[in-house]
Amino acid sequence: MNQLIITLVLVYFSLLPELIARPLAYVSNERSNSVTVIDTATDEVVDTIAVGSRPRGIGLSPDGSILYLALGRDDAIGVVDTKSGKQTGEISSGSDPEAFSISPEGHRLYVSNEDANTASIIDTQTHEILAILPVGIEPEGVAVSPNGKTVYVTAETSHTVSVIDTEALEVVSTILVESRPRAAAFSPDGNRAYVTSEIGGIVSVIDTKTNKVTGSIKLEQGDKPIKPMGVVVSPDGKRIYVATGWANLVAVIDAATNTVTTYIPVGMRVWGLALTKDGKKLYTANGVSNDVSVIDTEINKVVATIPAGEGPWGIAIEM
């Protein structure tokens, strides 16, 4: 009888991760060196994972089995096994990694190295560095196109976006955008990219076929300065959501008209954003209020606020 109970308990605990409803959202907390795990079905915290030092950039492998984290003070990309909820390894990345992006099939990481003014391309299987490419000064935001053929790397001090051909492993073009570009995101069809410029207060619209800026969307609300930071595009490509840092707002942009349709008040110092696969819910990492706002994108309102660790920075959601 005891053996049966023990067996059942073991089976229960071995299946526990599978029993947790999915998809899960993972939030990097840069000051508490942890990842908050949120069940997006219930919007409740289901786990907290201890990770390396100063986690900021965050991304999931396509199957959701591996979580990658830019560990700024460890000079590495941390590797977390999402099934066990443990950090299982690190990949050397150069100093103070902040942001990275994962190729669509999950075989490569594209990492910006701020101090070295380079972008590293890393094989996720072998951890081999496939290339280190010079980009602009103070590289930060990294975005991979939906077909995986192009990577955009923003550079804050040179105000540029370096365009990397992922087959040739070289920078094929450099685009001048507004002052202090921070983040980039592609439209689902890959035809457009959106780049946020913090000091310029602008979201630049880029035609990815020509790598030319075709539009500029000014973020402003009265005389209150608004600095665009994190950016995501809805799955249907119709809306762009932009985090605005200390303005504590998320800007909603109509992609057809390139105009801001509304600003949604969220928590303090909103930075990272992530959408659920169906685009119905938007999660925001609020770095000073130490929480995550959940926005219902049909009504553009916050419907839940979830406590996180200290200094939530980025979010990744299972697809």
Closer residue to another protein (CB): 279 or 311? 311
Closer residue to another protein (CB): 155 or 306? 155
- CB of residue 258 vs another protein: minimum separation in angstroms? 19
- CB of residue 126 vs another protein: minimum separation in angstroms? 5
Q: How far apart are CA 164 and CA 144, in angstroms?
A: 9
Q: What phi and psi values does residue 94 have, to the nearest 5 degrees?
A: 90, 175
Closer residue to another protein (CB): 172 or 303? 172
Q: What phi and psi values does residue 251 have, to the nearest 5 degrees?
A: -85, 135
Closer residue to another protein (CB): 159 or 192? 159
Closer residue to another protein (CB): 59 or 201? 201
- CB of residue 174 vs another protein: minimum separation in angstroms? 4
Q: Nearest 5°: CA angle at 104, between 230 and 101? A: 35
Q: How far apart are CA 79 and CA 91, in angstroms?
A: 8
- CB of residue 225 vs another protein: minimum separation in angstroms? 7
Closer residue to another protein (CB): 203 or 317? 203
- CB of residue 223 vs another protein: minimum separation in angstroms? 10
Which residues in this chain contact another protein in the complex, by CB under 8 A?
92, 94-95, 113-118, 123, 126-129, 132, 134, 136-138, 156-160, 174, 176, 178-180, 199-201, 225
- CB of residue 9 vs another protein: minimum separation in angstroms? 42
State the DSSP string of the chain: -HHHHHHHHHHHHHHHHHHS-S-EEEEEETTTTEEEEEETTTTEEEEEEE-SSSEEEEEE-TTSSEEEEEETTTTEEEEEETTTTEEEEEEE-SSS---EEE-TTSSEEEEEETTTTEEEEEETTT--EEEEEE-SSSEEEEEE-TTSSEEEEEETTTTEEEEEETTTTEEEEEEE-SSSEEEEEE-TTSSEEEEEETTTTEEEEEETTTTEEEEEEE-EETTEE-----EEE-TTSSEEEEE-BTT-EEEEEETTTTEEEEEEE-SSSEEEEEE-TTSSEEEEEETTTTEEEEEETTTTEEEEEEE-SSSEEEEEE--
Closer residue to another protein (CB): 71 or 274? 71
Contact criterion met (CB below 8 Å) for 38 and 27: yes
- CB of residue 75 vs another protein: minimum separation in angstroms? 9
Closer residue to another protein (CB): 115 or 236? 115
- CB of residue 97 vs another protein: minimum separation in angstroms? 12
